[in-house]
Amino acid sequence: MTGAVAVTGLGVVASCGVGAEAFWQGLLAQPADGDRRVPDWDPAPWYDSPKDARRADPFTQYAIAAAAMALDEAGELGADPDRIGVMIGTGIGGISTNEQQIVVRHEKGDRRVSPFLIPMMMPNAASAAVSMRHGFQGPCETTVTACAAGTHAIGNAVNTIRSGRCDVMIAGGSEAPFTPTSLAGFGNMTALSTSGRSMPFDTERDGFVMGEGAAVLVLESLERATARGAAILGLVLGSASTADAHHITAPAPGGSGAIRCMELALGDAGIAVDDVGHINAHGTSTPLNDMAEAHAIAKVFGTSPGPVITSTKGVTGHALGAAGALEAAAVLLSIRHRQVPPTQGLVNVDPEMPTLDLVMGEPREWEPAAALSNSFGFGGHNGTLVIAPAP
């Protein structure tokens, strides 16, 4: 399946900034240690009333806000609502509402559980809310593939346009995972950093720092976007999805599933390894993941000099199902600003890794070219997007 799909709108809610340009400036700044939460979040600007906002879990609120920003940038779509779809990925959906209502039931009994619990906690709540808010009646679906969900949602949306089913897709990922039980679970499985520092590819990395947020893209065919005079932020040339079929949390040895995913994505995009100038790595700051991804990149691209590589999780932390969408947004902004942000937190590259061109310290100027955005999730889910500048 071939055919470039244009990105004509971009919205972001992240710990380092709300709005695309604030997010970009945040990626260039040194973050504080600790969890990466969206500071002073107020959903009011994106809701008709406080009651409507209260009836949405934070992960839905983030998606509503990011979608509104993206649609505002895209302008008048001029498409049949039946041919506009929504696909927003998430890892754990409305876990905040779920946990709160479990406590309510335990302390106050069954009758006090909110009747809005189910529509607030269900993982498809964000996609459903965006479609209802804007009257989009095309496919409305949710991808739940752990930390690859945002990437898979965008890839699935691209293929929905390529197939001819829809003219426009609203796609991305959203996550709001900060609950006491969630943090305890990730901590007890030793996935979280005990130092509170996100240090992708660093010799002292000791786990990921939890993040949250959302990113949403407006996607349409390049021909359609050009015909309506839309400003094109970039192109999604291709994507791929594979499974390690190895372990519930650990990546396959040597990154074999990631290797195949990147190769398939390049094939889907119709480009060669030498055409790729940049990789936004999954780079979670966990010992096994970073090592496997480094070996996978070296296997696909070699090491001299290879693409310019960064992990923006040094700033954003790991936003689980929203991570891939946030990183796709970072690639699009790298194209816009002709810079690759540094891997914040990376000081001493792990000497056991193959030599890669990792951006450290300061942003790197680059001539925008095709770029990969990688996501790898618990359960062995692998996802890769190929993103390129507009023609």
CB distance 358 to 350 below 8 Å: no
147 in catalytic set? yes
Residues in contact with 242: Cβ distance below 8 Å, sequence separation at least 6, in sequence order:
257, 258, 260, 261, 264, 382
309 three-state secondary structure: strand
CB distance 120 to 55 below 8 Å: yes
Which residues share a beta bridge with 340? 364
Catalytic entry in 152, 278, 295, 318 = 318
Place of tokens 């190895």: 246
How far apart are alpha carbons 93 and 98 in whole angstroms? 9
Q: How many CB atoms lie within 10 A of CB 135?
A: 8
Catalytic entry in 140, 261, 278, 282 = 282
Residues in contact with 271: Cβ distance below 8 Å, sequence separation at least 6, in sequence order:
237, 238, 370, 386
Catalytic entry in 147, 261, 278, 295 = 147
C-alpha torsion 98→104→110→113, nearest 10: -60
How far apart are alpha carbons 143 and 336 in whole angstroms? 28
243 three-state secondary structure: strand
Cα 180 to chain centroid, rounded: 23
Active-site residues, by number, are: 147, 282, 318
